[in-house]
Structure 1
Amino acid sequence: MTGQRADARRNYSRILAVAEAEVARHGSAASLEQVARTAGVGSATVRRHFPTRQALLEAVFQERIQALCRRAAELHRTEGSRAALLEWLHDLVAYAVSARGLADALTYEPPTDRPADAAPDSCGAQLADAAAPLLARTLDDGVVRPGTTFHDLLTLAVGIALATEHHAEPSVQADRLFTLAVEGLSPSPSPSP
């Protein structure tokens, strides 16, 4: 039994390492069968560890998601609720642009403001929990539009990442669109003389 557990752990680690490379090359369309072949295991072994493509993507991006969650906690302790929320949201956009497939992994159609059918430890659920205090503080301070939800913010970040992923310089275009979304289409009014 112990041998099987160690073998299963090695398989998991090998599959995850191969999956990270495949997702980096092919995004969320990475082939589970190719992952299995490259890892030297059967498709059934991959599916035993990762029953769905979403489960595999969640595992691949777990470290990045945890970093975003830690960043949200740091920013929650800073002054300026709007600036803190926007800085975190910008970090989310930057991560989603730099990590092929992350935007796809975060896309969902919610019946509520939580990822549908998601486990409490899913990427979307973790981000929702991390961002909740930042968003609540901005709503309490009246510095974001009333009724703004985490899903609104996630949809904005994912939309920007997906819209710019095939640009020559996706991060530059994503920054431009993020600024446009935050500042709005209208130019700032000129100061009165």
Structure 2
Amino acid sequence: MVTGHEGDTVRRRGPLRADAQRNEDRLLEAAAAAFAREGKGASVKDIARAAGVGVGTLYRRFPSKELLIEAIYREEVQRLCEAAPHLTAAQPPAEALRTWMERFIDFMAAKQGMADALAVVLTDDSEKLHTRALLAGAITHLLTAMEGQAVARPGVDAQDVLMALGGISLIAASEEQRALATRLIDLLLHGIVTN
């Protein structure tokens, strides 16, 4: 059982059936897109329609909008962190880091759309610290792969990279320029990659 905003609960009784898991995955994907686009005012009815399920299905899984937003946030953090080893296995180390950074910026852009709601849902500082530690762990994995092939400067700190990426996402969001974020990622990479 997971407790959410104002005592709302989502009951988990073991793994979901395959069809129920597909419904939940589609709901989270549709909701993430809607909140990124429209902010916390996104319509639950429109989210359910975009996911191809009824509103009742949405409310059975997520009894409140806050619990839906929290689930999206946790799912996106998990996906971002799990991407690091897959990227290092599939791409050269520096390219894997670049791809991960681009995904981080996209994650932060989606988070901006949910910022007001997340401020209500994620009130616990330990949750924020936990998320930061997970993200820094993913960056550490990427940097270690780069160091293993001597393509990263020694001593690059994962927390520093994470803070720089956070700054890039804020600048790009305030300027409403995704292309600016890519250019700033290039500058950050020049500071990490050996020449």
Deviations 1:71-121 (A, max 9, x none): 12334xx5xxxxx2x43332223223345325789xx9xx99x96245xxx
RMSD: 4.6
Q: What letter is aligned with 1:155? A: M
Provide the secondary structure at the position in 1 that maps to 2:181.
helix
What corresponds to 1:25 in structure 2? 37
The answer to whether the Cα contact below 8 Å between 1:97 and 1:165 also exists between their aligned partners in 2 is no
Aligned equivalent of 2:168, options 147, 150, 160: 160
Aligned equivalent of 2:183, options 164, 168, 176: 176
The Cα shift of 1:46 comes to: 1.2
Q: Quick one: distance in 2 between partners of 1:14 and 1:177?
A: 32
Q: Quick one: distance in 2 between partners of 1:6 and 1:50?
A: 25
Larger helix proportion of the pair: 2
Q: Quick one: distance in 2 between partners of 1:63 and 1:159?
A: 21
Q: 1:101 to 1:16 in 2, by over 3 A?
A: same
The normalised TM-score by structure 2 is: 0.54
Aligned residue pairs total 159
The Cα shift of 1:160 comes to: 1.0
Q: Quick one: distance in 1 between partners of 2:44 and 2:24?
A: 12
Q: Quick one: distance in 1 between partners of 2:181 and 2:172?
A: 6
The normalised TM-score by structure 1 is: 0.54
5 Å-filtered alignment, 1:1-193, equals 9=21, 12-13=24-25, 15-26=27-38, 29-31=39-41, 34-35=43-44, 38-39=47-48, 40-41=55-56, 45-47=61-63, 51=67, 53-60=69-76, 66-75=82-91, 78=92, 84=93, 86-99=94-107, 100-101=109-110, 116-118=129-131, 125=134, 127-136=135-144, 143-146=152-155, 148-167=156-175, 169-171=177-179, 173-183=180-190
Provide the secondary structure at the position in 2 that maps to 1:144.
coil
Q: Quick one: distance in 2 between partners of 1:136 and 1:116?
A: 22
Q: Quick one: distance in 2 between partners of 1:176 and 1:10?
A: 36
Structure 1 unmatched ranges of 5 or more: 79-83, 185-193
The answer to whether the Cα contact below 8 Å between 1:128 and 1:150 also exists between their aligned partners in 2 is yes
The answer to whether the Cα contact below 8 Å between 2:33 and 2:110 also exists between their aligned partners in 1 is no
Provide the secondary structure at the position in 2 that maps to 1:159.
helix
The percent identity for this pair of structures is: 22
Q: What letter is aligned with 1:164? A: A
What corresponds to 2:5 in structure 1? none
Q: What letter is aligned with 1:19? A: A
What corresponds to 1:187 in structure 2? none
